[in-house]
């Protein structure tokens, strides 16, 4: 793995993964980060990395659906490994306007697979990042395993399911060396504040309402983003080619409980005093259509075969996340005000 194409490296998980690869892991090659810089992509996340690793980090503004542009990236940088994060990732947006999800998540992935199979000199690995949402919704009991049939319920999860099938098919049909990981809900530094945890943290800090969908009893498993990064890198190095691995945090929790946890942690921190607990900001709002009731992950395969376990508990992970948002107010301001997008236009054009 000398020249790794990371797609979507300016998004939440991609940013954390590029940082992990270059700052912490034993990867010795070069990262070529291709990102279209949608609303979710912020190249400022990696501006320090660009300075510290000028020989080992390259950023290219590009769209994975652009065949010609991506062909140049493959040629120019002699790509031998791919870690594919780029996607439209937010379920609520996929309900309002699914088009971009079909385009990027399905057509974009297909485009990369085509380039990968034709790559001169062969490709060492195509690692595809996916979600547990492809498995649909669980009842009270049971867990998603790698054998659980696909049953996606939202345009987002259906588009991810479709891309997973394409990746698998390219292994079976063309012998492309692939690995796939399906993980649970990530949280941690650099997450765009439309997802549950950063939204609740920032709203609670600002004294705004905390909108909980439906009865708040939907269950998610929460994976601290650095734990996700260590798992991806283990799978990329030692995972069986053609195989799928589930990644989870062992932290199932009802939404309402996680929001209460955020409120309680914030109430205990030395922040400007409030008259009432932040729990009073919780507001139950109309449910999301097709809202999956419960996700829970069985990651026995990853633990047994590759010896991976998550390091963070939900409590330690949420505390770290809150601390990061408190210490990075400037990042929050630029993202919330959209200022980072003016910076992108000034540097890269519209
Ligand atoms: P994100 O929305 O924060 O980042 C996505 C990145 O992809 C952005 O930087 C965006 O600019 C880029 N992008 C979008 N369309 C593109 C295109 N056409 N060409 C090039 N770049 C494009 O997403 P994330 O939360 O970091 O998720 C990364 C991956 O992990 C996605 O594939 C997502 O489906 C998967 N995933 C995420 C979670 C989660 O909890 N966040 C859970 C499971 C799986
Ligand atoms: P989200 O972060 O959007 O991730 P996903 O839909 O991919 O699981 O939402 C996590 C859970 O939180 C999900 O059950 C929906 C719920 N939710 C709320 O109750 N309120 C909110 O404002 C948001 C964004 C999500």
pLDDT surpasses 70 at 296:
yes
- Average pLDDT value for residue range 344-348: 80
Classify residue 45: in a domain, yes or no: yes
If you measure from the C-alpha of residue 301 to the centroid of ligand 2, how many angstroms do you get, rounded to a whole number? 27
Q: Output the 3-class SS for 258-320.
A: HHHHHHHHHHHCCCCCCCCCHHHHEEEECCCCCCCCECCECCHHHHHHHCCCCCCCHHHHHHH
- Tens-place pLDDT, residues 166-192: 999 999 999 999 999 999 999 999 999
Is 132 designated active site?
A: yes
* Ligand nearest the Cα atom of residue 348: 1
Determine if residue 158 is left, alpha or beta; phi over 0 gives left, psi from -120 to 50 gives alpha, anything else beta: alpha
Q: Residue 284 and residue 210: Cα distance in Å, rounded?
A: 8
Classify residue 213: in a domain, yes or no: no
Asked if residue 36 has its Cβ within 6 Å of ligand 1, the reply is yes
Predicted confidence at residue 1, as pLDDT, reads 94
* Ligand nearest the Cα atom of residue 127: 1
| Closest-CA residue to 314 (of 270, 252, 254, 265) | 252
Predicted confidence at residue 80, as pLDDT, reads 98
If you measure from the C-alpha of residue 197 to the centroid of ligand 2, how many angstroms do you get, rounded to a whole number? 8
Asked if residue 39 has its Cβ within 6 Å of ligand 1, the reply is no
- Tens-place pLDDT, residues 123-167: 999 999 999 999 999 999 999 999 999 999 999 999 999 999 999
- Tens-place pLDDT, residues 26-71: 999 999 999 999 999 999 999 999 999 999 999 999 999 999 999 9
Nearest residue by C-alpha to atom 28 in ligand 1 = 85
Classify residue 148: in a domain, yes or no: yes
Q: Residue 230 and residue 247: Cα distance in Å, rounded?
A: 10
Classify residue 226: in a domain, yes or no: yes
If you measure from the C-alpha of residue 216 to the centroid of ligand 2, how many angstroms do you get, rounded to a whole number? 10
- Tens-place pLDDT, residues 302-345: 999 999 999 999 999 999 999 999 999 999 999 999 887 887 78
Classify residue 279: in a domain, yes or no: no
- 216 near 261, Cβ under 8 Å? no
Predicted confidence at residue 309, as pLDDT, reads 98
* DSSP notation for 223-269: EEHHHHHHHHHHHHHHSPTT-EEEE--S-EEEHHHHHHHHHHHHHHS
Q: Which of 155, 193, 254, 255 is the best mutation target for the ligand 2 pocket, counting ligand atoms within 8 Å of the beta carbon and taking the most?
A: 255
Classify residue 23: in a domain, yes or no: yes
Q: Residue 211 and residue 127: Cα distance in Å, rounded?
A: 35
- Tens-place pLDDT, residues 200-240: 999 999 999 999 999 999 999 999 999 999 999 999 999 99
| Overall number of domains in the chain | 1
Question: In what order do the strands lie in the sheet containing 244-247?
Answer: 57-61, 30-35, 3-7, 81-84, 125-131, 178-183, 244-247
Predicted confidence at residue 273, as pLDDT, reads 84
* Ligand nearest the Cα atom of residue 196: 2
pTM, entire model: 0.98
Nearest residue by C-alpha to atom 20 in ligand 2 = 212
If you measure from the C-alpha of residue 268 to the centroid of ligand 2, how many angstroms do you get, rounded to a whole number? 25
Classify residue 114: in a domain, yes or no: yes
Predicted confidence at residue 342, as pLDDT, reads 82
pLDDT surpasses 70 at 268:
yes
Asked if residue 185 has its Cβ within 6 Å of ligand 2, the reply is yes
Predicted confidence at residue 346, as pLDDT, reads 81
Nearest residue by C-alpha to atom 41 in ligand 1 = 186
Q: Residue 92 and residue 217: Cα distance in Å, rounded?
A: 18
Asked if residue 211 has its Cβ within 6 Å of ligand 2, the reply is yes
CATH number of the domain that 61 lies in? Answer: 3.40.50.720
Classify residue 210: in a domain, yes or no: no
Phi, psi of 65 (to 5 degrees): -85, -10
Predicted confidence at residue 249, as pLDDT, reads 98
- Among the listed residues 63, 133, 221, 227, the single catalytic one is 133
Provide the residue range defining the domain that includes 94.
Answer: 3-189+222-251+294-312+339-348
pLDDT surpasses 80 at 350:
no
Question: In what order do the strands lie in the sheet containing 219-224?
Answer: 185-187, 219-224, 252-254
- Tens-place pLDDT, residues 73-125: 999 999 999 999 999 999 999 999 999 999 999 999 999 999 999 997 889 99
| Closest-CA residue to 33 (of 16, 18, 49, 21) | 18
| Closest-CA residue to 148 (of 244, 216, 231) | 244
If you measure from the C-alpha of residue 282 to the centroid of ligand 2, how many angstroms do you get, rounded to a whole number? 14
Nearest residue by C-alpha to atom 15 in ligand 1 = 87
């Amino acid at each position: 793995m000398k020249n790794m194409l990371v797609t979507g490296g300016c998004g939440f998980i991609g940013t954390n993964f590029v940082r992990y690869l270059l700052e912490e892991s034993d990867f010795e090659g070069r990262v070529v980060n291709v990102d279209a810089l949608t609303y979710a992509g912020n190249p400022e996340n990696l501006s320090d990395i660009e300075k510290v690793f000028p020989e080992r980090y390259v950023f290219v503004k590009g769209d994975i659906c652009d065949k010609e542009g991506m062909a140049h990236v493959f040629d120019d940088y002699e790509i031998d490994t791919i870690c594919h994060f780029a996607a439209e990732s937010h379920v609520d947006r996929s309900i309002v306007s699914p088009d971009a999800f079909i385009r990027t998540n399905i057509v974009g992935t297909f485009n990369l697979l085509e380039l990968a199979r034709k790559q001169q000199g062969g490709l060492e690995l195509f690692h595809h990042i996916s979600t547990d949402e492809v498995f649909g919704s669980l009842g009270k009991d049971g867990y998603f395993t790698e054998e659980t049939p696909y049953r996606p319920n939202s345009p987002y999860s259906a588009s991810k399911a479709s891309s997973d099938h394409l990746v698998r098919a390219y292994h079976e049909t063309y012998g492309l060396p692939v690995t796939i990981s399906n993980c649970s809900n990530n949280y941690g530094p650099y997450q765009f504040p439309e997802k549950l945890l950063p939204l609740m943290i920032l709203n609670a800090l600002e004294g705004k309402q905390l909108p909980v969908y439906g009865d708040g009893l939907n269950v998610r498993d929460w994976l601290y983003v650095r734990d996700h990064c260590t798992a991806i890198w283990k799978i990329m190095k030692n995972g069986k080619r053609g195989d799928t691995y589930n990644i989870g945090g062992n932290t199932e929790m009802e939404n309402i409980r996680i929001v209460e946890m955020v409120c309680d942690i914030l109430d205990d921190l030395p922040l400007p005093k409030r008259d009432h607990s932040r729990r009073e900001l919780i507001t139950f709002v109309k449910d999301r259509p097709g809202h999956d009731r419960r996700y829970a992950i069985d990651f026995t395969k990853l633990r047994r075969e590759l010896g991976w376990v998550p390091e963070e508990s939900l409590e330690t992970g949420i505390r770290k996340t809150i601390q990061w948002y408190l210490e990075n107010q400037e990042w929050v301001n630029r993202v919330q005000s959209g200022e980072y997008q003016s910076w992108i236009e000034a540097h890269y054009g519209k």
